[in-house]
Structure 1
Amino acid sequence: MPAQTLRRGTLPAAIGAVVLLSGCQFFDSDDGDVDITAMSPDELADYIVLESGSYRLEQSVQEGGSARGRMEQDELQRACSFTTSEIPEGLSGEVIEMARASYEEPPGGPRLGDWERGAELARSGYGFRVGHNIDDHSSRPPGGNCYACHQMDPDEPVYGTIGPSLAGYGDARGTDDASLSYAHEVISNPHQYFPCTTMPRFGANELLSEREISHIMAYLLDPESPVNQ
């Protein structure tokens, strides 16, 4: 999926370590050998990803444009690219303000869809991948890949722990308008409450449709969903 937030220094350090540990000092280019040891970690990352031809950045992507366009950060991503382990003072409020300014509530307000369809979407990591076998959204819709970061159904054996457990989420919160609005706001653009989070902006970046978001909301909140048993 398109990148959500890249904190400066993480990718460059990883790329530099791989390249240098492999014993590679020079890259071949149209301008001759390029000495990577003369580059800073940020310069090295930019060169490898954007200039060396190691990635097919001109390949078309599902949302339109090219893979190279995915490397261009928007205002919120730029704000959240910092080197410290903590959010710099004053930045949280700015990010929350940016996120809330871009949020759009669905016509008629958030509603619950079909929790069974939401369960499928929560387990599916399909969508927005590019490569030799690009994901085809005309034959299969994108998923939310929620289980990569969250526990949801308490009986689900495999799940990630990057995000908090959501088991029993609806049982604890109910399905009133306030609960529906909060769930929709977080799924659409979580920076409204968690500035510089690594959670994707599923609605704001159109990774999921409003209908798909409603199904995932139902999986979280519907009393009949296994999440709440």
Structure 2
Amino acid sequence: MFDHKTLGTVVFAALTLVGGHAAADVDYTKMSPHELAEYLLFEAGGFKLDTEVQEGGTARQRLVQDELHKLCSETRNRPSVEQAAEISLAARESVKYPGGDIQLGDWEKGRQLAWSGFGYRVGERTDDHTKGEPGGACYNCHEFAGDRQGGTIGPSLRNYGKLRGTEQPVLKLAYGIIYNPHSMFPCTRMPRQGANGLLTEQQILDLLAYLFDPESPVNKE
């Protein structure tokens, strides 16, 4: 564990390595962890925050928390019962469902989406959306089938549709989770793929097909 003096030295060295600047009148030892993080991200110059991002705007804007992020950060992703109920209600109200019954899309396209991390990287070579559609990067956190190795941060999705069936209430619930997962899991780390415009309606339907279609490798275990 660093003491304050050592922490200040480490911060100065880190800024030097990433090309940032350490202001002579800034005393890092008097900052709270939150203040230090804010300073390093937004003021120290170690990150190219003016970089344009694919959804519009800049990297700086992407790092600014919205009200949901702030609440979840303040509660360390453990909101009170009352807060969790409010988050879930707001998330459910944000979901825009397809007209009529939910129809599964193309599971092969859904598989490609689930295993693609293309789309929103920030850096010297950002992803060009004219060369391909963004993926869901679902593999980072979830395991889907034995044909490929996925992540273990989130629950395994093997046999997802085989275990749950394909009735409309089940499909609607899964659609809502992909669109805005806070509808069921307040302060989850799962991204709001639909609510934030990261995936289209059709892409979500294709992901549902990967999860529910009997021909999908997800349901062949």
User: What TM-score do you get using the length of structure 1 for normalisation?
Assistant: 0.84
Distance 1:165 1:24 in 2: 38
Instruction: Within 5 Å, give how 1:1-229 maps onto structure 2.
Output: 20=7, 23-25=10-12, 29=21, 32-84=24-76, 86-156=78-148, 158-229=149-220
Bigger proportion of residues as helix: 2
Aligned residues: 213
Unmatched 5+ stretches in structure 2: none
- Contact 1:76 1:98 (8 Å CA) reproduced: no
Amino-acid identity (%): 48
TM superposition shift of 1:162: 1.0
Structure 1 gap segments, 5+ residues each: 1-12
Question: How many angstroms apart in 2 are the aligned matches of 1:209 and 1:69?
Answer: 22
Q: How much does 1:53 deviate?
A: 1.1
Judge which range, 108-117 or 217-226, deviates more.
108-117
Hey, what's the Cα distance between the residues in 1 that align with 2:185 and 2:23? 45
Distance (whole Å) between structure 2 residues aligned to residue 86 and residue 200 of structure 1: 17
TM-score, reference length from structure 2 = 0.87
Q: What is the RMSD computed on CA atoms of the aligned residues?
A: 2.5
Does the CA contact (< 8 Å) of 2:114 and 2:136 recur in 1?
A: yes
Q: Return the letter of the residue paired with 2:203.
A: E
In structure 2, distance between residues paired with 1:80 and 1:102:
18
Deviation at 1:94, TM superposition (A): 1.2
Counterpart-to-counterpart distance in 2, 1:192 and 1:144: 18
